[in-house]
């Protein structure tokens, strides 16, 4: 594997629960030119075995990081357990944890350095773990332009770390560890192909384009998610930049729809998070049914229902509990989503066969109908559900719900939008209703109004009855094909007459007719309501409702005095003829201030009435006339009193504030101290928990190995036909294998009983002493015992030793059934005795030679055959020395040929007695024996004294040789006379005589051949046959013999197949004799008109000659004896064919003397092929 610099560096942060996920991650990791660096929370005192464990799961090179180590592609680096680690210049740098006090945020530290060093080449991954380590690090990676992945916290046993990362809104991928490598590969392949220039501007334009052309609005969704999906879509469509893709979207509305659908995440399954649904089944649904009033409907809202699996899951759980008093309860489940296609699929209620892995067989049978290769939801569940298109962002909520489910939807929204949706969901819940969220969603905005039912599965109960929500931002749901037009500006004023009561209409009319202005103000002088023309008497100021600010100076001075008086006395106060300027006119205005009945909150309110003094009437003595000086003095006094009162209040407030500040400072210091202690404790607990989890993971691995070992042992016991007993120090039976039940008739109730008290078909008294000895000495005892029913067992008693302390804590007794072996041994003993008797009766001598050591062992009879005394030691060379003459070499070579080549040894030789000097003829027959590995280990055999037989045979051979020699002289004379007779007949043209002479010559030749055979056989027996070797061409010899045979053969065709010139070194006459014999046999045993084929070829370092005929064929039993002396095949078809059985015997001996081999291939009815081979 070539080591190069990586084009990306992937950092993986993990804590508690992360080891298994890392293994799964690297099970799916390819060799893709990147590097992996694992930052795991480890104790400084705990030596991790992560390198060895991970190497089993990864095709990459796994190393523990070292100081200054260069990061290379296709390698994995693990942080040491007692170090911090950073990266710079693609080199790893380590520092001791002991040098830094406080929490060890190793993931944040490395991620931050990775962002600085690698920028856009950095990829951060957060797996399971406790705490929030890694959150700050991924922010740095995102800021540098890298990407961030987190495992799905829903399926994590320790979701804290990934949940914190996802909550930042910066996560690009939320995946299971097994899916992450493929996502990384896709990102590296496609993600970099999209230009990042003006991405924010382009993505905003794309979102606006979707909003204008569809009912969907993704404005407040997390931009990282939208941007990632848009980039992926653009890359798939081969657009180099988002600006190009935006231009394409503007021209292709269909692509806009496809992209918007890609933004929608319709991922769900039946009973997703089964433990959460178990909580709902056992706790939530029963509580909801109990809270229902008589005839009240159970209302449930599932927001973001996707394709309906979760909706129907809830319906199934509810249907299972609609029994007894609740069987007639009406259930309405409102299922909503913005995706119309997903709703259409959900409405059909048809799902693939793959749902079987999420639903029990009982529920499948009860609540689903099989339709071909699909399942359809049953009508009983379908009628509960109402599907509707609804946008959580824009549309009002469903109200008075007993249960609302909104899972894994809010995580894709910005915090502002999440707050709005949470408020809406709370508004839709009835008091004591339940809210069901996804594992990564946190309702912090409304948590004060909720009771936590299950913190793990995010199930909450609503505590409040009053709800408040602002519906200004909501609109009615749109139809799926609705397209939005740009919003029109709202009218500045709206008619109020339609919304006013009759009384308000009358009052307004009277004030206008009488030219009055009436104002209702609160205790803070804020105008609550007005009747009449405000333009005439009030200053036209914006953004204020304070009456003092709206009055002109004279009116303000008068109002200050009158309001003070009314508030003190509780009586009406009036002042007339206050001069004010309105434009160029000077008006005299009358002002009246009277108390207004307090509202339900006991708030003091005043009614101020202003009207123009048009009549100029005589002043009423009871009514004050406005005197500017007097009222300004009163106004000044009032201001002074207000200032003094404000100062007193301010001083009191300042004193309270100082006191509060001191208390707060004290509280703050205490809280800081407590927080630091809690933080330190939490970090220590977290570290301890992570260490415990890591150790626990390894213990679980060990437990798994122990379980596998235990399974192996149980299966071994089950499969072991031998019985085994386990006893303790007190000879109590602790355990026995299944095989022991069959063999020893034990019962489960025998466990714990002393062996001496157990009644079986084996007498334990015979082995109790052995067990006692084994416990005392630790040795192993093996013996054979016979049971009451005649079976035999080999009993092995050995100590039970504990590996930890090497202490003997009991004994193991193993019973091997050797009944069959015992029977075979007895039969073997009988056979051995019979064989010994046969050898003794036949007076055979036996020997054995160790093939490896050449150690020679002989019987007493063998020593006698060589003239040694039975008690005398005889070595192998001493035995060979007693063999006569040239036979010593022949016997030695035959023995070596058997030992080295495996050929059976069968040889006859003369021997001179060592002591008695007696000449004996001996026949030796021997062969190799093999061990279990089929390797020869001994050469053994027997010797038979054949002196009498051999002498008779020698006399016969002498007689044959003498007779043959005596016959040869008259036969030669006869042949000469026949030649003279043939010359005379030829001279006289006597055809009859010539024909008779030719027939006589054939018989003379046949008789000569017969006599030669007898002489050769005799010479061979006496060892007087000699080879006169020379180099000659086989081609010429075969052609010569063929032509010679054709002169005497008229009924057969002999074909010599062509072959290249081959030369051998051999006795040409003897080889010619063999070929002639084979051709003669082929002619004799083939039908008339048959073909005889002669071929020759070279095979490796030998030449092979073959003669094939179309004769009767030879059976396998006959083939085995075919080359024995005087052997002829006895059959009706061969009865008329002359012969003595010497031809093939002599041919075989001649070929053997040439270190060759003669053999036959034949099948009855299909002819025969004789082969012989000679070394080149």
Q: pLDDT of 536-585, one tens digit each?
A: 788 766 567 888 888 888 888 888 888 888 888 888 888 888 888 877 77
Bridge-based pairing state of the strands 573-582 and 585-596: antiparallel
Share of the chain above pLDDT 70, in %: 83
For residue 492, the model assigns a pLDDT of 36
For residue 490, the model assigns a pLDDT of 36
Q: Report whether 1156 contacts 1175 (CB < 8 A).
A: yes
Residue 443: CB partners within 8 Å, gap ≥ 6? 422, 435, 437, 450, 458, 460
Q: Report whether 1070 contacts 1027 (CB < 8 A).
A: yes
For residue 491, the model assigns a pLDDT of 34
Please determine, for residue 191, whether its predicted confidence score (pLDDT) is greater than 60. no
Q: How many other CB atoms sit within 10 Å of the CB of residue 276?
A: 20
Show the CA angle centred on residue 100, arms to residues 94 and 101, nearest 5°.
150
> Highest mean pLDDT range out of 186-200, 216-230, 1026-1040?
1026-1040
Tens of pLDDT along 241-283?
777 788 888 878 777 777 777 676 656 788 888 889 999 999 9
Q: Which residue has the higher pLDDT, 613 or 302?
A: 302
From its phi and psi, is residue 304 left (phi > 0), alpha (psi between -120 and 50) or beta? left
Q: What are phi and psi of 1059, to 5 degrees?
A: -160, 160
How far is the C-alpha of 419 from the C-alpha of 414, rounded, in Å?
9
Residue 903: CB partners within 8 Å, gap ≥ 6? 897
Please determine, for residue 705, whether its predicted confidence score (pLDDT) is greater than 90. no
For residue 302, the model assigns a pLDDT of 93
Lowest mean pLDDT segment, chosen from 786-795, 850-859, 887-896: 786-795
Q: Which residues pair with 1097 in a beta bridge?
A: 1104
For residue 1106, the model assigns a pLDDT of 94
User: Which of 436, 115, 488 is closest to 273 using CA atoms?
Assistant: 436
Q: What is the mean pLDDT of residues 482-509?
A: 50
Residue 792 DSSP class: E
How far is the C-alpha of 589 from the C-alpha of 614, rounded, in Å?
9
Q: What is the CATH number of domain 1030-1175?
A: 3.30.565.10
Q: What are phi and psi of 121, to 5 degrees?
A: -85, 0
The CATH architecture that domain 843-945 belongs to is 2-Layer Sandwich (3.30)
- At 706, the pLDDT band (50, 70, 90 cuts) reads confident
For residue 680, the model assigns a pLDDT of 65
How far is the C-alpha of 770 from the C-alpha of 168, rounded, in Å?
75
- At 1093, the pLDDT band (50, 70, 90 cuts) reads very high
- At 988, the pLDDT band (50, 70, 90 cuts) reads confident
For 9-193, CATH number out of 3.40.50.180, 3.50.50.60, 3.40.50.720, 2.60.40.3680 equals 3.40.50.180
Q: Which residue has the higher pLDDT, 520 or 658?
A: 520
Q: Which residues pair with 724 in a beta bridge?
A: 814
Catalytic site includes residue 340: no
Q: Which residues pair with 728 in a beta bridge?
A: 810
Lowest mean pLDDT segment, chosen from 198-202, 602-606, 727-731, 1165-1169: 198-202
- Secondary structure element (H or E) that encloses residue 1020, with its range: helix 991-1021
Catalytic site includes residue 402: no
* 1168-1175: strand order across its sheet: 1053-1056, 1091-1099, 1102-1108, 1168-1175, 1157-1162
Q: Which residues pair with 798 in a beta bridge?
A: 812
Lowest mean pLDDT segment, chosen from 396-405, 432-441, 996-1005: 996-1005
For residue 488, the model assigns a pLDDT of 38
Count each helix (H run) and each strand (E run) in the chain, helices first.
Answer: 34, 42
How far is the C-alpha of 213 from the C-alpha of 206, rounded, in Å?
11
Using DSSP's 3-state secondary structure scheme, residue 270 falls into coil
Alpha carbons within 13 angstroms on the beta-carbon side of residue 514 total 13
Lowest mean pLDDT segment, chosen from 13-22, 336-345, 501-510, 1104-1113: 501-510
For residue 368, the model assigns a pLDDT of 93
Please determine, for residue 70, whether its predicted confidence score (pLDDT) is greater than 80. yes
Catalytic residue among 8, 15, 104, 914: 15
Q: Where are the domains of the chain?
A: 9-193, 195-263, 264-462, 505-626, 729-822, 843-945, 952-1021, 1030-1175
For residue 1090, the model assigns a pLDDT of 82
Q: Give the C-alpha distances (Å, rounded to integers) separating 312 from 269, 387, 820, 1020.
A: 10, 11, 67, 103
Tens of pLDDT along 415-462?
777 888 888 888 889 888 999 988 777 787 788 888 999 888 889 999
The token pair at 279 is 């909580």
Q: Which residue has the higher pLDDT, 124 or 990?
A: 124
Bridge-based pairing state of the strands 83-88 and 75-78: unpaired
User: Which of 138, 201, 193 is closest to 167 using CA atoms?
Assistant: 138
Please determine, for residue 481, whether its predicted confidence score (pLDDT) is greater than 60. no
Share of the chain above pLDDT 90, in %: 13
Catalytic residue among 43, 104, 128, 133: 133
Tens of pLDDT along 462-479?
988 755 555 444 444 444
Catalytic site includes residue 41: yes
- At 789, the pLDDT band (50, 70, 90 cuts) reads confident
Q: Report whether 71 contacts 6 (CB < 8 A).
A: yes
Q: Which residue has the higher pLDDT, 624 or 145?
A: 145
How far is the C-alpha of 86 from the C-alpha of 111, rounded, in Å?
8
Please determine, for residue 745, whether its predicted confidence score (pLDDT) is greater than 50. yes
- Secondary structure element (H or E) that encloses residue 105, with its range: none
Using DSSP's 3-state secondary structure scheme, residue 996 falls into helix
Lowest mean pLDDT segment, chosen from 22-36, 593-607, 1016-1030: 1016-1030
Cβ-in-10-Å burial (0-12, 13-18, 19+) of 138 comes to: buried
From its phi and psi, is residue 810 left (phi > 0), alpha (psi between -120 and 50) or beta? left
- Secondary structure element (H or E) that encloses residue 423, with its range: helix 415-428
Q: What is the mean pLDDT of residues 986-1002?
A: 79
> Highest mean pLDDT range out of 309-318, 771-780, 862-871?
309-318
How far is the C-alpha of 125 from the C-alpha of 15, rounded, in Å?
12
Q: Report whether 1010 contacts 1140 (CB < 8 A).
A: yes
How far is the C-alpha of 592 from the C-alpha of 943, rounded, in Å?
158
Residue 790: CB partners within 8 Å, gap ≥ 6? 819
Tens of pLDDT along 1014-1051?
666 666 655 556 678 899 999 889 998 888 888 777 78
From its phi and psi, is residue 1130 left (phi > 0), alpha (psi between -120 and 50) or beta? beta
Q: Which residue has the higher pLDDT, 1151 or 617?
A: 1151
The token pair at 197 is 């220039």
In sequence order, which ranges of 933-990 are alpha helices (DSSP H)? 947-987
How far is the C-alpha of 49 from the C-alpha of 183, rounded, in Å?
28
Catalytic residue among 8, 41, 164, 1052: 41
For residue 952, the model assigns a pLDDT of 75
> Highest mean pLDDT range out of 599-603, 788-792, 1132-1136?
788-792
Please determine, for residue 792, whether its predicted confidence score (pLDDT) is greater than 80. yes
How far is the C-alpha of 551 from the C-alpha of 557, rounded, in Å?
9
Q: What is the CATH number of domain 505-626?
A: 3.30.450.20
Q: What is the CATH number of domain 729-822?
A: 3.30.450.20
Dihedral through CA 242, CA 243, CA 248, CA 252, nearest 10?
80
- At 483, the pLDDT band (50, 70, 90 cuts) reads very low
How far is the C-alpha of 439 from the C-alpha of 460, rounded, in Å?
12
Show the CA angle centred on residue 926, arms to residues 923 and 932, nearest 5°.
170
For residue 1065, the model assigns a pLDDT of 92
Equal fold, 505-626 vs 729-822: yes
Q: Report whether 1056 contacts 1042 (CB < 8 A).
A: yes
Mean pLDDT score across all residues of the chain: 80
Q: What is the mean pLDDT of residues 959-975?
A: 67
Q: How many residues does the chain have?
A: 1176
Q: Report the 3 state secondary structure along 495-552.
A: CCHHHCCHHHHHHHHHHHHHCEEEEEECCCCEEEEEEECHHHHCCCCCCCCEHHHHCC
- At 1166, the pLDDT band (50, 70, 90 cuts) reads confident
The token pair at 825 is 């041994």
For residue 441, the model assigns a pLDDT of 77
How far is the C-alpha of 1078 from the C-alpha of 1085, rounded, in Å?
11
Fold that domain 952-1021 belongs to in CATH = Helix Hairpins (1.10.287)
The CATH superfamily of 264-462 is Vaccinia Virus protein VP39 (3.40.50.150)
> Highest mean pLDDT range out of 347-361, 890-904, 980-994, 1094-1108?
1094-1108
Q: Report whether 1050 contacts 1088 (CB < 8 A).
A: no
- At 408, the pLDDT band (50, 70, 90 cuts) reads confident
How far is the C-alpha of 997 from the C-alpha of 1003, rounded, in Å?
10
For residue 485, the model assigns a pLDDT of 43
For residue 102, the model assigns a pLDDT of 54
Please determine, for residue 484, whether its predicted confidence score (pLDDT) is greater than 50. no
How far is the C-alpha of 1121 from the C-alpha of 1129, rounded, in Å?
9
For residue 482, the model assigns a pLDDT of 45
């Amino acid at each position: 594997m070539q080591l190069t610099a990586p084009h990306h560096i992937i950092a993986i942060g993990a804590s508690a629960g992360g080891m298994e996920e890392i293994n799964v991650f690297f099970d799916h990791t390819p060799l893709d030119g990147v590097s992996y660096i694992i930052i795991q929370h480890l104790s400084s005192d705990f030596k991790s075995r992560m390198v060895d464990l991970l190497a089993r799961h990864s095709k990459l090179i796994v190393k523990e990081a070292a100081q200054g180590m260069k990061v290379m592609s296709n390698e994995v680096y693990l942080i040491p357990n007692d170090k911090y680690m950073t990266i710079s210049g693609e080199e790893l740098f380590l520092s001791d944890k002991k040098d830094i006090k406080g929490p060890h945020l190793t993931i944040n530290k490395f991620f931050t350095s990775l962002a600085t060093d690698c920028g856009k080449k950095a990829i951060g991954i957060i797996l399971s773990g406790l705490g929030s380590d890694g959150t700050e690090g991924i922010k740095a990676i995102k800021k540098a332009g890298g990407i961030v992945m987190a495992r799905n916290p829903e399926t994590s046993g320790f979701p804290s770390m990934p949940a914190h990362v996802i909550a930042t809104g910066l996560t690009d991928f939320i995946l299971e560890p097994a899916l992450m490598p493929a996502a990384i590969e896709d990102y590296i392949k496609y993600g970099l192909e999209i230009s990042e220039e003006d991405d924010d501007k382009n993505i905003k334009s794309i979102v606006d384009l979707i909003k204008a052309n569809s009912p969907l609005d993704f404005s407040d969704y997390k931009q990282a998610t939208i941007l990632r999906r848009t980039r992926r879509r653009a890359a798939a469509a081969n657009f180099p930049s988002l600006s190009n893709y935006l231009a394409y979207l503007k021209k292709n509305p269909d692509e806009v729809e496809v992209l918007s659908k890609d933004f929608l995440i319709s991922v769900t399954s039946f009973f997703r998070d089964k433990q959460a649904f178990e909580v709902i089944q056992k706790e939530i649904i029963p509580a909801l049914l109990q809270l229902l009033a008589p005839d009240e409907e159970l209302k449930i809202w599932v927001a973001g229902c996707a394709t309906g699996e979760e909706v129907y899951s809830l319906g199934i759980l509810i249907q299972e509990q609609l029994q007894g008093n609740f069987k007639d309860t009406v259930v309405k489940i409102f299922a909503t989503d913005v995706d119309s296609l997903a709703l259409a699929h959900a409405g059909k209620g048809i799902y693939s066969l793959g749902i079987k892995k999420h639903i029990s067989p009982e529920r499948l049978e009860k609540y689903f109908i099989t339709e071909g290769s699909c399942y359809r939801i049953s009508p009983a569940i379908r009628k509960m559900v109402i599907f509707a298109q609804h946008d959580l962002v824009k549309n009002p909520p469903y109200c008075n719900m007993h249960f609302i489910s909104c899972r894994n939807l809010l995580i894709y929204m910005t915090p502002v939008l999440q707050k709005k949706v949470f408020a809406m969901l709370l508004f839709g819940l009835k008091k004591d209703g339940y809210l069901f969220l996804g594992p990564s969603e946190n309702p912090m905005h409304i948590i004060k109004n909720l009771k936590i039912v299950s913190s793990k599965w995010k199930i909450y109960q609503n505590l409040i009855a009053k709800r408040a929500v602002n519906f200004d931002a909501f609109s009615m749901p749109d139809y799926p094909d609705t397209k939005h037009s740009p919003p029109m500006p709202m009218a500045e004023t709206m008619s109020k007459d339609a919304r006013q009561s009759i009384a308000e209409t009358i009052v307004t009319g009277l004030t206008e007719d009488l030219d009055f202005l009436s104002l209702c103000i609160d205790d803070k002088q804020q105008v609550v309501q007005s009747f009449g023309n405000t333009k005439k008497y009030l200053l036209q100021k914006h953004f204020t409702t304070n009456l003092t600010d709206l009055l002109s100076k004279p009116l303000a001075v008068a109002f200050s005095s009158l309001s003070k008086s009314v508030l003190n006395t509780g009586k009406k106060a009036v002042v007339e003829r206050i001069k004010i300027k309105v434009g160029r006119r000077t008006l005299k205005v009358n002002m009246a201030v009277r108390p207004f009945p307090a509202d339900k909150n006991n708030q003091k309110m005043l009614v101020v009435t202003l009207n123009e003094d048009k009549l100029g009437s005589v002043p009423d003595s009871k009514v004050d006339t406005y005197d500017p000086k007097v009222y300004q003095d009163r106004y000044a006094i009032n201001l002074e009193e207000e200032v003094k009162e404000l100062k007193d209040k301010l001083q009191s407030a300042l004193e309270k504030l100082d006191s509060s500040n001191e208390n707060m400072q004290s509280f703050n210091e205490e809280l800081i101290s407590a927080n630091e202690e809690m933080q330190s404790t939490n970090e220590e607990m977290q570290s301890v928990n992570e260490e415990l989890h890591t150790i626990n993971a390894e213990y679980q691995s060990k437990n798994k190995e122990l379980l596998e070992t235990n399974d192996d042992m149980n299966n071994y016991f089950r499969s072991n036909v031998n019985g085994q007993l386990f006893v303790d120090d007190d000879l109590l039976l602790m355990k026995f294998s299944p095989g022991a039940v069959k063999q020893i008739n034990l019962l489960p109730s025998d466990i714990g009983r002393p062996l001496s008290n157990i009644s079986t078909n084996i007498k334990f008294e015979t082995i109790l002493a052995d067990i006692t000895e084994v416990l005392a000495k630790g040795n192993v005892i093996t013996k054979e015992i016979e049971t009451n029913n005649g079976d035999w067992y080999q009993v092995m008693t050995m100590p039970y030793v504990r590996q930890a302390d090497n202490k003997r804590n009991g004994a193991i007794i193993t019973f091997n059934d050797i009944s069959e072996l015992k029977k075979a041994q007895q039969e073997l003993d009988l056979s051995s005795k019979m064989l010994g008797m046969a050898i003794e009766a036949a007076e055979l001598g036996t020997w054995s030679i160790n093939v490896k050591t050449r150690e020679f062992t002989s019987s007493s009879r063998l020593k006698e055959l060589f003239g040694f005394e039975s008690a005398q030691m005889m070595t192998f060379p001493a035995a060979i020395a007693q063999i006569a003459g040239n036979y010593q070499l022949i016997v030695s070579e035959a023995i070596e040929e058997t030992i080295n080549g495996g050929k059976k040894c069968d040889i006859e030789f003369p021997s001179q007695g060592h002591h008695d000097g007696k000449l004996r003829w001996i026949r030796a027959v021997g062969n190799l024996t093999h061990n279990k590995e089929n390797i020869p280990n001994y050469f053994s055999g027997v010797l038979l004294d054949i002196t009498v037989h051999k002498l008779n045979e020698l006399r016969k051979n002498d007689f044959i040789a003498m007779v043959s020699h005596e016959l040869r002289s008259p036969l030669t004379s006869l042949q000469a006379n026949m030649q003279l007779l043939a010359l005379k007949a030829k001279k006289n043209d006597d055809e009859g005589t010539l024909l008779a002479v030719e027939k006589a010559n054939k018989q003379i030749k046949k008789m000569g051949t017969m006599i030669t055979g007898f002489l050769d056989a005799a010479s061979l027996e006496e060892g007087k046959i000699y080879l006169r070797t020379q180099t000659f061409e086989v081609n010429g010899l075969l052609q010569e013999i063929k032509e010679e045979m054709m002169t005497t053969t008229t009924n057969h065709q002999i074909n010599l197949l062509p072959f290249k010139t081959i030369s051998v070194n051999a006795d040409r006459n003897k080889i010619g004799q063999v070929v002639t014999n084979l051709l003669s046999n082929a002619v004799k045993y083939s039908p008339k008109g048959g073909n005889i084929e002669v071929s020759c070829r070279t095979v490796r370092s030998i030449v092979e000659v073959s003669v094939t005929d179309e004769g009767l064929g030879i059976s396998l039993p006959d083939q085995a004896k075919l080359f024995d002396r005087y052997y002829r095949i006895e059959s009706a078809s061969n009865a008329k064919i002359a012969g003595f059985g010497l031809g093939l015997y002599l041919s075989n001996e001649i070929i053997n003397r040439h270190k060759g081999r003669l053999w036959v291939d034949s099948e009855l009815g299909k002819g025969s092929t004789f082969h012989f081979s000679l070394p080149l």
